Copies of this chain bind each other. A is one copy, B any other.
Amino acid sequence: MRLTPALITEATLALGDREGEKAMSMRRIANELGCDPMAIYRHFPNREALLDAVADQIVDEVPPPAEGEPWDERIRAVLTGMRAVALRHPGIAGHVAARPPLGSRGRRYAGGLLAALAEAGLPPADVVRAFQALIAYSAAGLRMAVDAGERDARWHQVSGAMDDLPGDAMPVVGSEEQFEYGLRLLLNGIRVEGRLSTAEGCPQGTPR
């Protein structure tokens, strides 16, 4: 059977889902496809490029945000959607966390985020800054979740740092709840910046 980029990325994704990140080696992918490892290099310049393509592919599974929703709700929907999709594909999730998928599919969603941030009232230069901050935070949150799922979970050291804190409900490191809290902080922060730059002032704030 003729080899195509799509066949390769699909086999890679399936292998990663089934056997994890380290199973996605050029040799094992080739084995999966029944071809020579070098055959893959005629469709992708190197392993990194292949993983980028696999990461971009799963973006298709992210549900598009509802049109009528306010800007902050759309941002939340896209970022938690991407997170959920990545966690459904444990093999590639680590790569998504390291390099946000901004291939052709990812680009579409990026446009939606940028539009939402403009709607929030940020000046264009800050739209870009806030966008990058959101992407960076999401990547880090995903990485925490991935690592927390691993056996040796170094992120759990974070709880170790808190031993002397009043014994309170400790959110699970890398949990959905933890991720959403940080996202709320960022959206709070964006709201404040938006208000400042549209000069509506603090006292009678815009809804929520």
Which residues in A have some Cβ–Cβ distance to B below 8 Å? 48, 52, 98-100, 102-103, 106-107, 110-111, 114, 124-133, 135-137, 139-141, 143-144, 147, 152, 154-155, 157-158, 160-162, 164-166, 168-171, 173, 177-178, 181-182, 184-193, 202-205, 208
Contacts of A106 in B (CB 8 A): 161
**Is A152 in contact with B48, judged by CB distance below 8 angstroms?**
yes
Neighbour of A185 across the interface among B124, B130, B144, B177, CB < 8 A: B130
- C-alpha spacing A99/B165, complex, angstroms: 22
Known: A128-B168, A136-B141, A137-B137. 5 other contacts (CB 8 A): A111-B161, A126-B181, A129-B182, A133-B178, A185-B189
The residue among A133, A135, A164 with the most chain B CB atoms within 10 A of its own CB is A133
